A and B are shown apart, each in its own frame.
Chain A
Amino acid sequence: MHKLYQKLLTAWSENNSYTRMIVLFSSIMMFISIIMWLMNLGSNSQKRILNSSMSEMSNSLEIIEKFDAKFPGKWFHFLSEQPQLTEIQQYLTKFQLDNIDIRTNNGIHQITGQATNVVELTNAIDHLYNNHGLVIHSIMIDQIDQQTIFELSLTY
């Protein structure tokens, strides 16, 4: 190490000031290049992480896009909690639905009741879908004596 230092010192002292200036400038450039190289390593690593993140995001977007084609606007309800039975009952009564009975079995809400007409029932179904993400699993509507009796299964 000492010999190398002596050799470098000798080489340095043999140079004139013009050469020393060039060597000094080149050494500074080399030093900056090393820093640039380290920064490149960091930047490449960040690039890989971003690529990976972008790829995962593309996969997620593809899944959501397919899902949204079938159930438009439902995907963002997955970011909130499922509505409780009491909440569903509360919403249904707002739409003048009577004799409401709700039971839940394996994540499916089975609702029976009466409505004055089919339009009231479909408005209630639209509201539950658009605002709470509840989807029709099965439906039965029967019109008897100006009354609409229904059996509705909803799932989240």
Chain B
Amino acid sequence: MNDFIFINPDIDDCAIVYAEKNNINKNKKGNLRNLLSELTDTSFVTFVLSRYCAYKDTIDVPPKNKSIFLKNAENIIKQDLPGSNQKILIQPLQGNQLPFIVISDETTEILKDIKNQFKIEKNKVLLERDLNQSNSKEWYINLNGSEIMIHYNDRVLQSSIEKFKEDIQVITGREKHPDLITWKYIFDKDQSALKSKNLQLIVSDILDTDQKISYLMSDLGHIENASFRSLRIKDIVDQKKANISYSNNWKSYNYLAISLLLFSSLTIQYTNTSQYASQIETRQSSILNSMFRDLESTNQILDLETVASKISYSNNLPAKNYIITLNELGDMFNQPGLKLKKLEIDSDDINMVFIVDGESVINQINTAIQESSVFNVNINSIQNDNQNKIIVSLSVKYKNA
């Protein structure tokens, strides 16, 4: 820990302070970017945010609904803050106290700029108050121009040379007196000692306490201590990222997976069922349209059922369609010299009488009878009439009857 840079809201009023007392002459004030540019290695610089940039405080955690409180702590703290242009960093819980740091948005922007410009993100960031860890035994008084900061019992009071006597009387009247008060300086020791001489006398009049003067950076052992938790630039600058790990969100991830699975399976099922129904409807419609293409029908399904029902109950219809029988007989006996005299069709009985011109026609009839695959024909009689014609009487039956 070599160099400290004190950051103020006024970017031109920042200061570089070296840890080594020997380098006190190098300490100087100036523009933040200029101060950083002068450093050869910026990776070890520790940034100290002034009390005008950030402050630390605590809030009591209620014993009931502790987890809810902790989840919503940031919003609860924000409600009590005067302005909205500040960022809140929640620190680890200490007993029933929740520490938090409030940093102005202006400071966050300054840190973001220098982080991007100088490629630094892991550098430590301290609050001014972190430098002086006062307790009931040891108090610190910082001298910075006409401004005086009194650190007592882990609290801070801002004072001035004019108001110092009054302020120290109030504090000492209220708090337990310390064993030691250390006056701290940053720049010139002699000038600081001179400035504090009258102030030390005021303290001596009030308290019987040892006083000493010391370089601000000479006693920072507590900061080096592993238990001291400092911030990093990236902690302040980076946006708070949602914790998306499965271990932290397993319930919601499982819920998401189940809902997606359910939704997908039901969607697929619905799509398939709809498609199937649509195919059935199309097929049905296609068949009906084909059946009724030349017919007028307002309810094709009902008409189809009506027809099927009427067919089932049609008792009067013959076993054969005799129009087809007539055509088949016509095809069989359509020969020259053959004339139909009589035809009877009743049930399965078919009787025919022909008038034939000459015996050659009888041979043709005989051939047709032999070749028929549909009918069995029985010749009942062949007679000559008195007009030189031959009369042939036949009985015909279906072969498959």
**Given A10-B68, A138-B345, also A78-B311 (CB < 8 A):** yes
Among B276, B291, B317, find the residue whose CB has the most chain A CB atoms closer than 10 A.
B317
Contact A26 B270 (CB under 8 A): no
List residues of chain B with CB within 8 A of the CB of A54.
280, 283-284
Main secondary structure of the interface of B (DSSP, over half): helix
A44 at interface (Cβ–Cβ under 8 A)?
yes
Rounded to whole angstroms, the CA-CA distance of A32 and B266 in the bound complex is: 10
Q: Is B281 an interface residue (CB 8 A)?
A: yes
For window 257-308 of chain B, which residues contact chain A by CB distance below 8 Å? 258-260, 262-263, 266-267, 269-270, 273-274, 276-277, 280-281, 283-284, 287-288, 291, 295, 297, 301, 303-308
Q: Mark B145-180, 1 if CB is under 8 A from A, else 0.
A: 000000000000000000000000000000000000
- Docked Cα-Cα span, A142 to B352, in Å, equals 10
B304 contacts A64, CB within 8 Å? Answer: yes
Contact A142 B342 (CB under 8 A): yes
| Cβ contacts A113-137/B at 8 Å (1 or 0 each) | 0000010001001100100000111
A-side contacts of B269, CB under 8 Å: 40
Chain A residues whose CB sits within 8 angstroms of the CB of B344 once the complex forms: 139-141
Residues of chain B within 8 A of A43, CB atoms compared = 270, 273-274, 277
Question: Which of A59, A122, A143 counts the most chain B CB atoms within 10 A?
Answer: A143
B316/A137 in contact, CB under 8 A = yes
A78-B310, A136-B345 are contacts. A19–B284 as well, Cβ < 8 Å? Answer: no
Which among B273, B322, B342, B346 is the interface contact of A143 at CB below 8 angstroms?
A: B342
A51 lies within 8 A of chain B by Cβ: yes
- Whether A36 and B340, one on each chain, are in contact in the complex, defined by CB atoms closer than 8 angstroms, is no
Taking CB atoms, residues of chain A closer than 8 Å to B274 are: 43
Residues of B near A106 (CB, < 8 A) are 316
Q: Return the contact of B321 from the options A13, A27, A71, A156 (Cβ within 8 A).
A: A71
Inter-chain CA distance A71–B301, complex, in Å, is: 22
Give the chain A neighbours of B42 by CB distance below 8 A: none
Q: Write the nearest CB–CB distance from B394 to chain A, whole angstroms.
A: 14
A4 adjacent to chain B (CB < 8 Å): no
Chain B: which residue is nearest A16 at the CB level? B242
Main secondary structure of the interface of A (DSSP, over half): helix
Q: At the interface, yes or no: A103 with Cβ under 8 Å from chain B?
A: no
Answer yes or no: B11 CB below 8 A from chain A CBs. Answer: no
Q: Contacting A14 at CB < 8 Å: which of B71, B273, B322? A: B71
B256 and A26 within 8 A (CB): yes
Nearest CB on B from A17, distance (A): 7
Residue of A nearest to B346 (CB): A138
For residue A151, give the distance in angstroms from its CB to the closest CB of chain B. 9
Quick one: given A33-B262, A78-B306, are A141 and B343 in contact (CB under 8 Å)? yes
Min CB distance, A84 to chain B, in Å?
17
Query: What number of B residues sit within 8 Å (CB to CB) of A?
Result: 62
Q: How far is the CB of A25 from chain B (nearest CB, A)?
A: 7
Do A32 and B263 have beta carbons less than 8 Å apart? yes
Contacts of B287 in A (CB 8 A): 57, 61
Cβ of A136 and Cβ of B318 under 8 Å apart?
A: yes
Which B-chain residue is minimally distant from A30 (CB atoms)?
Answer: B259
- Closest A residue, CB atoms, query B352: A141
Quick check: is A85 within 8 A (CB to CB) of the other chain?
A: no
Which residue in B259, B267, B301, B306 is a CB contact (below 8 Å) of A57? B301
Is A47 an interface residue, CB under 8 A from the partner?
Answer: yes
The yes or no answer to B85 lying at the interface (CB within 8 A) is no
The answer to whether B256 and A25 have CB atoms under 8 Å apart is: yes
- Asked, given contacts A44-B273, A53-B284, A135-B318, whether A61 binds B304 with beta carbons under 8 Å apart, the answer is yes
A112 interface contact, C-beta 8 A: no
Complex contact A125–B323 (CB within 8 A): yes
Flag A70-87 by CB within 8 Å of B: 1 or 0 each: 111001101100000000
Please indicate the chain A residues that have their CB under 8 angstroms from the CB of B322 in the complex: 135-139
Contact between chains at B68 and A70 (CB < 8 Å)? no
Supplied contacts A43-B273, A71-B321, A75-B307, 15 more A-B pairs, CB within 8 Å? A10-B65, A26-B256, A33-B262, A36-B263, A36-B270, A50-B284, A57-B284, A60-B307, A64-B311, A70-B320, A76-B307, A135-B322, A140-B343, A142-B341, A143-B339
Q: What 7 A-B pairs have minimum CB-CB distances, sorted nearest first?
A: A18-B242, A60-B308, A136-B322, A29-B259, A36-B266, A26-B259, A78-B310
- Contacts from B to A (Cβ < 8 Å): 65, 67-68, 71-72, 242-244, 249, 252-253, 255-256, 258-260, 262-263, 266-267, 269-270, 273-274, 276-277, 280-281, 283-284, 287-288, 291, 295, 297, 301, 303-308, 310-312, 316-318, 320-323, 326, 339-347
Complex A-B: 5 CB contacts under 8 Å: A36-B270, A43-B273, A50-B280, A76-B295, A126-B323
